[in-house]
Amino acid sequence: MSKVNLTQKLASFDAYWTPKIVASYNCNDIMVVKVKGEFNWHSHAETDDLFLVLKGTIDIHMRDQIVTLSEGELYVIPAGIEHRPVAKQEAHLLLIEPANTPNTGDQATAAKKEMI
Amino acid sequence: MSKVNLTQKLASFDAYWTPKIVASYNCNDIMVVKVKGEFNWHSHAETDDLFLVLKGTIDIHMRDQIVTLSEGELYVIPAGIEHRPVAKQEAHLLLIEPANTPNTGDQATAAKKEMI
């Protein structure tokens, strides 16, 4: 593989809430995503969900708490925990999920993940 | 879990080449490490090895190439590929490896990984 420059990858697309695969690690997708606004409530029964903020700030709403993450902060949402990411302003994230995990928790409504 | 501020975690220790676990994701250790100088040649037969540079620059020597990574750049070393990280100046990295992976490729010489 070639090295991956996260800033360059993020500069190559505009759409929000459409994770782009930039590398693979042991059958996990390493992804970058731009977010702004409110995502849907969802959970992933089979997998934890790792968020690392590369730029900006996001609030991860869970049913019992809200975790606010700024640049250089990470959080792992345990499998099965309902969550809803919210970004008041545009934010850039690194995500890790097993390959083929639907970003909405549901294959029918999931964004198609492409490699960039 | 609490959110993890990577800069704060890195400020809490000094030793080089001693990865510290900051979170767990699906039985993988999410780690930060400070590096300076040359590490040993090694490989991990069973797992890929993900490096993300948080500060500074490192050269990942492989037998057929050297990949230079700066802040915001990541690289995945495929399972089984011999590699040797080298940092001319102090650099800070985020690493992901399955729990209990020896950082040297060998349990006998591996650094003990503690959670911070």
In chain A, domain spans: 6-99
Q: What is the mean pLDDT of chain B?
A: 94
Residue with more model confidence, A73 or A101: A73
How many Å is the Cα radius of gyration of chain A?
A: 13
Task: Tell me which CATH code domain A6-99 carries.
Answer: 2.60.120.10
Contact at CB, A3 and B75, closer than 8 angstroms: yes
CA distance to partner chain A, nearest, from residue B72 (Å) = 6
For A11, residues 6+ apart whose C-beta sits below 8 A from its C-beta are none
- Model confidence pLDDT, tens digit, residues B93-102: 999 999 988 8
pTM: 0.94
What CATH topology corresponds to B6-115? Jelly Rolls (2.60.120)
DSSP string, B79-107: TT--EEEEEEEEEEEEEEEETT--TTSST
Contact at CB, A26 and B73, closer than 8 angstroms: no
The band of B104, judged by pLDDT with boundaries at 50, 70 and 90, is confident
- The residue of A74, A77, A95, A116 whose CB has the most chain B CBs within 10 angstroms, and thus the best one to mutate to test that interface, is A74
